[in-house]
Amino acid sequence: MALTILLIDTDPERARALEEKLSQTGFARVVRAEGSDLTAAVEAAKPDLVIIDMALPDRDALEDIRAVSAASPVVMFAGTDDPAFAQEAIAAGVCSYNLSGVALQDVRPILASAVALFQRYRHVETELAAAKALLNERRLIERAKAILMKNRKMSEPDAYRWLQKKAMNESRKLADVVAEFVAETENGQRETKP
Amino acid sequence: MSEVVSLKQSRSGTKLRIGFLRLTDSAPAIIAQEFGYFAEEGVDADLFEEPSWANIADKLAYGFLDAAVIVPPLAFAIELGLRGVSQKLVIPCNLSMGGNTVTLSRDLALRVRELANKGGLSTAHALAACLKDRDQPLPLGVVHAYSTHNLLLRYWLATAGLEAGREVRLSVVPPARAVEALQSGSISGFCAGAPWGEIAQRAGAGLNVATSDDIWRAAPEKAFAVRASWAEENPESLKGAVRALVRAAQFCDAPENASYTGSLLSRQKYLGVDSHAILSSLPGGAIAPDNQSCFWRGAATFPWRSHALWFLHQMTRWDLTGDIDAEALAARVYRSDLYRAAVAPLGLSVPLADCKSEGAHSTSWRLEAAPNPIVMGPDNFCDGAVFEASPAPASF
């Protein structure tokens, strides 16, 4: 018997990947829904399970789904008897609601795929953010060095050492010191301009 | 000017992760963080903007958050395990009073207002008159089943004989989605916290027909809930956090700070909405205020056990709890002892009793407090009811 799964995710690529993966198992029928009116989506799809991105405020509406389908119990995380699994799901940014009371062992492989996929996307996101931060830091250091070389006639290595020393003296991160230095210099220049 | 306040920090204890939603009354937590009050009080705090009450509840329950700016009925729901895994919580201080609006679609609101003016009716009775010939229940949104909004709206509707499931149909619409739901017509009105009613008004989608004050003046709204285990393990940090929040509440309540607070809250990482819409709900932020939060005046930060009991009483009234021992639960969660211990070094006046008569005052009154009495505002209900909580039990 195929389980009907309502999938609510704003990331279309991730939703598509998860839909594909779940459909391959052969016992899951995936219905995708956009935000806004979840109550209507639940009424239309009559899912056994709802998998939802925790970044969506619509979860509040799902909590009150009893109002629409009084007959089917709403169980969060398809079984709150496994706190470690629920914890893993929350950390990955996914939450699930079991609407028709299917047992945990039946939906566990489905939920596990969702959690794994969310974890992978989160990992990619974190890496991207780290790479962006690093790039920004390098750009600011170059900018700060250029300011020092121009305004104080320092050589490039001297300028870098000056910044490092400033960070050490203030016992702060180089990135923070550089960002502040660049911002202050550039604001100062703007203010002194006629 | 740099916004970073650099301070000599003597931080003790572990990190305090605080969750909040995009609402005006998250202000005390945001101010305490931005102005370094938490750091000055030795608290290593981090703020997390959460998209929904469900997230706040789950993250508290599973220990991903240590504390939250919360609607008290949800804190009780988490404590009782009514919506998932249960987690013991304590409320060492309240954070705000008032600030909610009952906002109806423009056409309906205009009819309600006209009828209220013409017939000298309350807006609740005018709404009842408007709904008399309707065969379908009016769809209204509340922000969560376990919210102050659900309880206040039901209370207000009931004064005019309107009931959920009969004349109106209540559904859950998260605050940040309320305006679009009103515009799309999927709901005809909602009860939500500021600034969402004001945003609906500015968008031309709806008009406010009642506020928290019209239902219960000086109604408790947001509270600061902390996981009981965190509170036990970090007693000094907890006291520091309460002090930081109380200081922030004083800042937020000062009219001269309204525009500053409004623009700080409007930042993308906090509310991410027009600062003018926020401003009108801050004390001193509007010349003719329609709906305002109160953060400090009238002992707003004190965790009244009588407030806890009123919430539990209403939750039971609408069948939102099972069998509970309200007295014991209120005493376990609402911890005036923690509040008193925390604010003592600040030399501020603190109420002597843990309970007061709710709804007994229609004008300003004097509250017994030490070292000095506190001037309190009116606290009457729209139906004139008085809620008497029995005296506090001796032990926890």
Q: Give the ipTM of the model, two decimals please.
A: 0.81
Question: Which residues on adjacent β-strands are paired with residue B100?
Answer: B193
Average pLDDT of B48-67? 95
| pLDDT for the residue numbered B249 | 98
What's the token pair of residue A101? Answer: 């009371």
Q: Is residue B38 part of a domain?
A: yes
Which secondary structure element, helix H or strand E, spans residue B227, and what is its range?
strand B223-227
Please judge whether B177 and A57 are an interchain contact, meaning their C-beta atoms are less than 8 angstroms apart: yes
Question: Which residues on adjacent β-strands are paired with residue B192?
Answer: B101
Dist. CA B190–CA B22, nearest whole Å: 17
Measure Cα distances from B42 to A122, A140, A162, B346 in Å: 32, 32, 33, 15
Q: What angle do CA B368, B369, B375 make, to 5 degrees?
A: 70
CATH code linked to domain A127-192:
1.10.10.10
Q: At what angle do helices A104-151 and A174-192 cross, to 10 degrees?
A: 50
Dist. CA B375–CA B351, nearest whole Å: 11
Number of domains present in the structure of chain B: 2
Nearest to B300 by CA among B224, B199, B209: B224
Q: Spell out which residues of chain A touch residue B141, defining contact as CB-CB under 8 Å.
A: none
Q: Is the pLDDT of residue B2 over 60?
A: no
Strands B138-142 and B189-193: parallel
What's the token pair of residue A149? Answer: 């070389």
Q: Spell out which residues of chain A touch residue B20, defining contact as CB-CB under 8 Å.
A: none
Please judge whether A83 and B62 are an interchain contact, meaning their C-beta atoms are less than 8 angstroms apart: yes
Residue of B nearest to A91 (CA): B64
Q: Is residue B355 part of a domain?
A: no
Residue of B nearest to A75 (CA): B84
Average pLDDT of B307-330? 94
CB B178 within 8 A of CB B192: yes
- Beta carbons within 8 Å of B85's beta carbon, 6+ residues apart: A80, A83, A86, B61, B62
**Residue B210: domain span:** 100-215
Which pTM was predicted?
A: 0.86
pLDDT in tens, B225-275: 999 999 999 999 999 999 999 999 999 999 999 999 999 999 999 999 999
Q: Is residue B356 part of a domain?
A: no
Which secondary structure element, helix H or strand E, spans residue B184, and what is its range?
helix B175-184
Q: B123 and B83: one domain? A: no
Q: B241 and B341: one domain? A: yes
pLDDT in tens, B203-232: 999 999 999 999 999 999 999 999 999 999
Q: Residue B165 in 3-state DSSP?
A: coil
Q: B242 and B318: one domain? A: yes
Among the partner-chain residues A40, A61, A83, the one whose CB lies closest to the CB of B173 is A61
Say which DSSP state B394 is in. S
CB B259 within 8 A of CB B284: no
Residue B9: which pLDDT band, with cuts at 50, 70 and 90? very low
Q: Which of A58, A60, A173 is the mutation pick for testing B, counting most B CBs within 10 A? A: A60
Residue B394: which pLDDT band, with cuts at 50, 70 and 90? very low
Q: B207 and B229: one domain? A: no
Q: How high does pLDDT run on average in chain B?
A: 93
Q: Is the pLDDT of residue A82 over 60?
A: yes
Please judge whether A56 and B84 are an interchain contact, meaning their C-beta atoms are less than 8 angstroms apart: no
Average pLDDT of B326-343? 97
Dist. CA B252–CA B260, nearest whole Å: 9
A186 CB within 8 Å of a chain B CB: no
Q: B228 and B331: one domain? A: yes
Measure Cα distances from B334 to B90, B249, B262, B308, B338 in Å: 6, 19, 30, 7, 9
Question: Which residues on adjacent β-strands are paired with residue B369?
Answer: B351
Dist. CA A118–CA B299, nearest whole Å: 45
Q: B260 and B197: one domain? A: no
Strands B45-49 and B16-20: parallel
Dist. CA A121–CA A130, nearest whole Å: 14
Q: Residues 86..145 of A with a Cβ closer than 8 Å to B: which?
A: 86-87, 90-91, 95
CATH number at residue B160: 3.40.190.10
Q: Where are the alpha helices (DSSP H) in A25-155?
A: 38-45, 59-63, 83-92, 104-151
Q: B92 and B135: one domain? A: no
**CA pseudo-torsion sign B140, B146, B148, B154:** positive
Please judge whether B143 and A76 are an interchain contact, meaning their C-beta atoms are less than 8 angstroms apart: no
Which secondary structure element, helix H or strand E, spans residue B67, and what is its range?
strand B67-70
For chain A, give every domain's residue range: 3-123, 127-192
What's the token pair of residue A129? Answer: 């953010």
A72 CB within 8 Å of a chain B CB: no
CB A61 within 8 A of CB A18: no
Please judge whether A60 and B186 are an interchain contact, meaning their C-beta atoms are less than 8 angstroms apart: no
Q: Is the pLDDT of residue B61 over 60?
A: yes
Among the partner-chain residues A59, A80, A83, the one whose CB lies closest to the CB of B55 is A59
Q: Is residue B6 part of a domain?
A: no
Residue of B nearest to A94 (CA): B55
Please judge whether B53 and A36 are an interchain contact, meaning their C-beta atoms are less than 8 angstroms apart: no
Q: B90 and B238: one domain? A: yes
| pLDDT for the residue numbered B5 | 43
Q: B89 and B109: one domain? A: no
Dist. CA B175–CA B266, nearest whole Å: 16
Q: Which amino acid, residue B192? A: A
- Chain CA centroid to CA B340, Å: 21
Domain boundary among B215, B238, B255: B215
Q: B165 and B105: one domain? A: yes
Average pLDDT of A96-110? 79
Which secondary structure element, helix H or strand E, spans residue A157, and what is its range?
helix A156-169
- Lookup result for tokens 């003046």: B217
Among the partner-chain residues B62, B172, B186, the one whose CB lies closest to the CB of A64 is B172
Dist. CA A175–CA A178, nearest whole Å: 5
The Cα of A117 is separated from the nearest Cα of chain B by a number of Å equal to: 20
Which range among A11-20, B141-150, B359-368 shows the weakest confidence by mean pLDDT?
A11-20
Q: For chain B, give the percent of residues with pLDDT over 90.
A: 87
A13 CB within 8 Å of a chain B CB: no
Rg, Å, chain A Cα set: 26
Q: B90 and B143: one domain? A: no
- Beta carbons within 8 Å of B262's beta carbon, 6+ residues apart: B275, B276, B278, B279, B282, B285
Q: B234 and B341: one domain? A: yes
Please judge whether A180 and B174 are an interchain contact, meaning their C-beta atoms are less than 8 angstroms apart: no
Dist. CA B17–CA B28, nearest whole Å: 15
Q: For chain A, give the percent of residues with pLDDT over 70.
A: 87
Which range among A116-125, B288-297, B300-309 shows the weakest confidence by mean pLDDT?
A116-125
Dist. CA A52–CA B84, nearest whole Å: 16
- Beta carbons within 8 Å of B169's beta carbon, 6+ residues apart: B137, B138, B139, B140
- Lookup result for tokens 């409004």: B262
CATH code linked to domain A3-123:
3.40.190.80
The Cα of A55 is separated from the nearest Cα of chain B by a number of Å equal to: 6
Domain boundary among B215, B246, B275: B215
Dist. CA B285–CA B255, nearest whole Å: 7
Dihedral of the alpha carbons of A137, A139, A145, A150, in degrees to the nearest 10:
-150
Average pLDDT of A43-56? 87
Q: Is residue B366 part of a domain?
A: no
Q: Spell out which residues of chain B touch residue A93, defining contact as CB-CB under 8 Å.
A: none
Q: Residue A81 in 3-state DSSP?
A: coil
Among the partner-chain residues A60, A77, A95, the one whose CB lies closest to the CB of B143 is A60
Within chain A, what is the greatest distance between any pair of CA atoms? 78
Please judge whether A63 and B144 are an interchain contact, meaning their C-beta atoms are less than 8 angstroms apart: yes
Nearest to B180 by CA among A47, A34, A52, A15: A34
Question: Which residues on adjacent β-strands are paired with residue B198?
Answer: none
Q: Is the pLDDT of residue A192 over 50?
A: no
Rg, Å, chain B Cα set: 20
Average pLDDT of A19-48? 82
Please judge whether B62 and A86 are an interchain contact, meaning their C-beta atoms are less than 8 angstroms apart: yes
